């Protein structure tokens, strides 16, 4: 059998392509639209696609920041953040909230979004988001390199202490993922995917 030819490379030595494929390889990724508040009381909102839900009980989410961005500083200072689901109608506002602005700028304001206060946390929620999580920080740690040194990437983990779901997306007791038209991050500089009925299929686990 002929060996398949792969484009193989060591990331530490370069990808050898016109564009780095890394963020297209693990894609699409959910977007962590992170709401927080600074120690001085300034609301903050930013998207993080190095984000995921890691377990059921207790529910723990995490996002990774390249350096200590405002969301990390706020999470450390206050011990809290929110996660807000980006639906298709909110994609442009999500993008606007990623602007590189100082900690004194409120990105809710910048992106024209209304805030809702947290019930169990002070961190603000995106009022228009179909789902919002209130989270309390459990760990903040620098991701390590193979050499055992700290990389420049900071991971923030939080336990989800309260969940808000727009009941419009709950049908007969089941939350319908596609009903909210969630947006996921594709690769390159500008690719996104809207999750919709055309891409849904079913497969049950083997016993
Ligand atoms: C869809 C999307 C995903 C992003 N994902 C990340 C990420 O995972 N990590 C990161 O450090 N920056 C990411 N960014 C860039 C941040 O959103 C941007 O640097 C932002 O200004 C950080 O805001 P903050 O300083 O208020 O936390 C992403 C931007 C977009 C538009």
Contact predicate 134/82, CB 8 Å:
yes
The mean pLDDT of 49-65, rounded to a whole number, is: 98
Per-residue pLDDT of 23-55, as tens digits, reads 999 999 999 999 999 999 999 999 999 999 999
Nearest CA, atom 24, ligand 1: 70
What distance in Å separates the CA atoms of residue 66 and residue 142, rounded to the nearest whole number?
A: 10
pLDDT of 149 above 70: yes
Provide the CA 205 distance to its chain's centre, in angstroms: 27
The yes/no answer on whether domain 19-195 falls in CATH 2.30.110.10 is yes
**Cα–Cα separations (whole angstroms), residue 53 to 8, 11, 32, 59:** 30, 26, 10, 7
Beta carbons of 70 and 46 less than 8 angstroms apart: yes
Contact in structure between 7 and 25 (CB atoms under 8 Å): no
Strands 115-116 and 174-175: unpaired
Let me know: does 184 contact 193? Beta carbons within 8 Å: yes
Task: Give 179's DSSP letter.
Answer: G
pLDDT of 178 over the 80 cut: yes
CA of 202 to the centre of ligand 1 (A): 32
**Helices assigned H by DSSP within the chain:** 22-25, 70-78, 91-96, 107-110
**Per-residue model confidence (pLDDT) at position 3:** 81
Contact by Cβ (8 Å): 71, 33: no
What are the residue ranges spanned by the domains of the chain?
19-195
Q: Ligand 1 pocket: which residues have CB below 6 Å?
A: 31, 44, 46-50, 64-66, 69-71, 95, 98, 100, 185
- Six token digits for residue 132: 């919002």
At residue 171 the predicted structure's pLDDT band, cuts being 50, 70 and 90, is very high
Residue range 154-171: mean pLDDT, rounded = 98
Work out which ligand 1 atom sits closest to the CA atom of 101: 21
Is residue 49 a contact partner of residue 30, using CB atoms and an 8 Å limit? yes
Q: What percent of the chain has pLDDT over 70?
A: 100
Q: Is the pLDDT assigned to residue 200 strictly greater than 70?
A: yes
Residue of 51, 84, 87, 98 with the most ligand 1 atoms within 8 Å of its CB, for mutation: 98
Which of 65, 73, 113 for a ligand 1 pocket mutation test, highest count of atoms within 8 Å of Cβ?
Answer: 65
DSSP state of 1: -
Which residues are CB-contacts of 79 (< 8 A; sequence separation ≥ 6)?
136, 137
């Amino acid at each position: 059998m002929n060996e398949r030819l792969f484009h193989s490379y060591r990331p530490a030595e370069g990808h050898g392509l016109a564009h780095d494929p890394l963020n297209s390889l693990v894609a699409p990724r959910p977007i962590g639209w992170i709401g927080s508040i600074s120690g001085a009381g300034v609301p903050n909102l930013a998207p993080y696609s190095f984000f995921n839900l890691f377990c059921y009980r207790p529910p723990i989410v995490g996002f990774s920041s390249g350096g200590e961005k405002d969301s990390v500083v706020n999470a450390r200072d206050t011990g809290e953040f929110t996660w807000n689901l980006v639906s298709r109608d909110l994609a442009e506002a999500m993008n606007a909230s990623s602007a590189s602005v100082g900690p004194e700028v409120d990105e809710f304001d910048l992106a024209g979004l209304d805030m809702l206060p947290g019930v169990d946390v002070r961190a603000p929620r995106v009022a228009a988001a179909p789902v919002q999580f209130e989270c309390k920080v459990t760990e903040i740690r620098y991701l390590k390199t193979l050499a055992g040194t700290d990389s420049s990437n900071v991971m923030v983990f939080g336990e989800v202490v309260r969940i808000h779901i727009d009941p419009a997306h709950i049908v007969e007791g089941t939350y319908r993922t596609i009903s909210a038209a969630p947006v996921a991050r594709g690769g390159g500089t500008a690719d996104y995917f809207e999750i919709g009925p055309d891409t849904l299929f079913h497969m049950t686990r083997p016993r």
